[in-house]
Amino acid sequence: MIRKLRPEDRAGWQQLYQGYQAFYGFHERPAEFYDKAFARLMAADTRDFHGFVADVDGQLLGLVHYVFHPNLWRDEGVCYLQDLFTAPEARGKGVARGLIEQVYAAADKAGVPAVYWLTAEDNYAGRMLYDRVAVKSPFIRYNRKV
Amino acid sequence: MIRKLRPEDRAGWQQLYQGYQAFYGFHERPAEFYDKAFARLMAADTRDFHGFVADVDGQLLGLVHYVFHPNLWRDEGVCYLQDLFTAPEARGKGVARGLIEQVYAAADKAGVPAVYWLTAEDNYAGRMLYDRVAVKSPFIRYNRKV
Amino acid sequence: MIRKLRPEDRAGWQQLYQGYQAFYGFHERPAEFYDKAFARLMAADTRDFHGFVADVDGQLLGLVHYVFHPNLWRDEGVCYLQDLFTAPEARGKGVARGLIEQVYAAADKAGVPAVYWLTAEDNYAGRMLYDRVAVKSPFIRYNRKV
Amino acid sequence: MIRKLRPEDRAGWQQLYQGYQAFYGFHERPAEFYDKAFARLMAADTRDFHGFVADVDGQLLGLVHYVFHPNLWRDEGVCYLQDLFTAPEARGKGVARGLIEQVYAAADKAGVPAVYWLTAEDNYAGRMLYDRVAVKSPFIRYNRKV
C-alpha cells in the first residue's frame, strides 16, 4: 500500500532514506540531516516537501519525496520528485513504480500535472523503470562550481 | 551593465524572451504568455521568479530569470536559473557570463549559494560557456509523459 | 566453456545471432545474412571476423564476434568487438563477461591489446557489465546520413 | 581545394596533425609517431589509412584520415574517419565540411558508403558541423581498461 508518510514512520523512513543517501555516496549524514528532513516532511507546508511510503504489513519498503515549485513557463508550476528509493530486498515488485504513480496522482490533484526528476546517467536500474513511466528529455544539469 | 529587470523594460525584454522561446521551438507563444511572465517578474515575490538584464546604453542585450525553491537536502534551498538568453548580435562579448555571475551574486546575498540550470545536451554554444562557469553533472532529466 | 566457434555450431549460433539482431530491431534478416556471416567467421582470415561461443554441455549460451583493424595512432591496430549476446535464459551467470575476457586474451595473444566496442546509451543491462570490465569513454558515434 | 595527401606535404601535414593530437591532449608525440603515420598514409595500401588535405594556394589548412575495415553486418565493410582537423585560422569557412564530403565521395567510389566517426561528447565546435553533415547515433564507446 502506498500512503502518506506519517509521524510513526520515523525509524523505518530513516532506514530507507539512509540507503538512498548512500546510493549517492553520502554514507555519513549527521543525525540532524534526517531530523530536519523528517520535520519538513511532517510540516504539511504546501510549498515544501511531501512524502509517500510503500507500507507492506507495517514494513516500509520504499519512499518518495516531492515538492511543487514555480516555473516561469507554467502558471501552475511544476512538481519535482527529488528522492525515490526502494529497499534492496523489495526490488522488482513494482514498489518504485507505485510510488511514482502516487506522485502523479497527487500532482494531478494539486493541478500541477508536470512532474519531473533528475537521475544519474548511469543509474541503469532506475532508468529501466523511468523509460517505462516517463520520457528521457535531452536536458542535462549544470551546477555552479563550489 | 547587468541590472534588475524594470517595468520600462517590457518591450525590450519581450523581444529577447521571444528569441529564447524560439530557440527551444516555441515560436508562437500567445501574448498572455509574455504578459504573465513579466507580471510575475515584476511582483518581487521572494518565492517567485526574478530577472536581470544586460543594458548597454539603454538597449537590452540579454536576460536571465531565476527562482529559489526548496530542496530536501539543503535547509536554505537552491537557486534554479531557468532562462538565459543573449541577443544574437551581442554574442561572444561576455553578456551571458555576466548574467550568470549576477545570479551567483544574488544567490549568495540570499544565502542560497547552490545555483543550477538545465540545458539541452546539444546546446553547444551554451555549453562552451557553461563548462567555464559551472560544472556539468551526470544528472539527466526525465519528464512525466504527457 | 568459452571456445572458438566451429562449423558444427551453425544452428545454435544462428539462434543466438538472431536474438542479438532482434535486440537492435532487426527481426527479419534474410537467410543469406546469416549464411555470409557464418562463412566469414569460419574462413579464419586474420583480417576478418572471429568468433567465440559459450558452450555448456553442448548448448550454446552466448556468442562474441571481433575483428582487428588498423588505427593510425597505433602500429599494431585495435580490436573491435562488434557483437556480444547471451541467451536470455543464461543471463546473470557470467557468460558475457567470460566472452569479453576471451576476446581480451585473444587480443593479447595477437599483440593488439586495445579492445573496444560500441553500445547503445540505453543498453542498461549491458552497461552494468561493461562498467565493470571496461571504461566508458566520452566518445559518441556519428553516422553519415543515408 | 581538397586533394589527396602527397609526399611533399610532409611538413604542412605534420603541423596540422600536431594540432589535432594536441586537441586530444597529446602534446608530446615523439617524432616517430608522425614518421610512421605519414609513411602509412603514403603507402597506398587499400587496407590501411588514406588522407586528404585542404590546399589553399599551397598552404595546408586541414586534413582528414580514413580507413576501410570489415563489419560483420555488411559485406562491403565500413569507412572509419579517424582524424579530422582544420587549422585554427581557417575555421568557419567550410574546410572540415569539404574534407568530410571528400571522404564520402571516396567511400562511394570504393563501394563502401557507410562512413562513421567518433567524437568526444563535448567537442561542441565539431558537433555543430557533424549535426549538419551526419547523424548522431545513440552509440557510445567502451574501452578495455589499460
Burial class (CB in 10 A: 0-12, 13-18, 19+), D16: buried
| SS3 category, B121 | coil
Residues of chain A found within 8 Å of residue C122, distances taken between Cβ atoms: 127, 131, 136
Helices (H), A6-140: 10-23, 31-42, 95-109, 124-133
Task: Return the pLDDT at B146.
Answer: 83
Burial class (CB in 10 A: 0-12, 13-18, 19+), D90: middle
At B136-145, the pLDDT tens digits run: 999 999 999 9
Give the one of A116, A122, A144 whose C-beta lies nearest to B114's C-beta. A144
Residues of chain D found within 8 Å of residue B136, distances taken between Cβ atoms: 122
Give the one of A104, A136, A142 whose C-beta lies nearest to B116's C-beta. A142
Task: Return the pLDDT at C59.
Answer: 97
Give the one of C33, C80, C140 whose C-beta lies nearest to D139's C-beta. C140
Cell of A6: 506519517
Burial class (CB in 10 A: 0-12, 13-18, 19+), D7: exposed
| SS3 category, C85 | strand
Residues of chain A found within 8 Å of residue B96, distances taken between Cβ atoms: none
Residues of chain D found within 8 Å of residue B140, distances taken between Cβ atoms: none
Task: Return the pLDDT at D146.
Answer: 82
Closest Cα in chain B to D128? B124
In 3D space, the residue among C134, C115, C118, C133 whose CA is nearest the CA of residue C76 turns out to be C115
User: How many contiguous H segments (helices) and E segments (strands) does chain B have?
Assistant: 4, 6
Classify A2-133 by CATH class. Answer: alpha beta
Averaged confidence pLDDT in chain B: 97
| SS3 category, B72 | coil
Residues of chain A found within 8 Å of residue C124, distances taken between Cβ atoms: 124-125, 127-128
| Chains D and B touch, using 3 or more CB pairs below 8 Å | yes
Domain spans in chain A, listed from the N-terminal domain onward: 2-133
Instruction: Please indicate whether, in this complex, the C-beta atoms of B47 and A48 are within 8 angstroms of each other.
Output: no
Closest Cα in chain C to A131? C122
Are B122 and A99 in contact by the 8 Å Cβ rule? The answer is: no
- Which residue, among A91, A119, A122, would best test binding to C if mutated, counting the most C CBs under 10 Å from its CB? A122
Per-position b or e across C85-122, b if 16+ CB within 10 A of its CB: bbbeebeeeebbbbbbebbbebbeeeebebbbbbbeee
Inform me whether the pLDDT recorded for A4 exceeds 90. Answer: yes
**B19 to each of B28, B71, B120, C87, how far by Cα in Å?**
11, 31, 16, 52
Give kind and range of the element (H or E) at residue C102.
Answer: helix C95-109
* Euclidean distance between CA atoms B76 and B110, whole angstroms: 9
Closest CA of chain A from C132, distance in Å: 12
Any chains having at least 3 CB pairs less than 8 A from chain B are A, D
Residues of chain C found within 8 Å of residue D143, distances taken between Cβ atoms: 114-116, 134-135, 137
Task: Return the pLDDT at D145.
Answer: 95
Binned at pLDDT 50, 70 and 90, residue B28 comes out as very high
Closest CA of chain A from C124, distance in Å: 5
Instruction: Please indicate whether, in this complex, the C-beta atoms of A125 and C122 are within 8 angstroms of each other.
Output: no
At A88-121, the pLDDT tens digits run: 999 999 999 999 999 999 999 999 999 999 999 9
Cell of B54: 544586460
Task: Return the pLDDT at C146.
Answer: 83
Binned at pLDDT 50, 70 and 90, residue B133 comes out as very high
- Listed as ranges, residues in chain D with pLDDT below 70 are none
Q: What is the mean pLDDT of residues A23-44?
A: 96
| Chains C and D touch, using 3 or more CB pairs below 8 Å | yes
- Listed as ranges, residues in chain C with pLDDT below 50 are none
Inform me whether the pLDDT recorded for A146 exceeds 90. Answer: no
Instruction: Please indicate whether, in this complex, the C-beta atoms of C121 and D133 are within 8 angstroms of each other.
Output: no
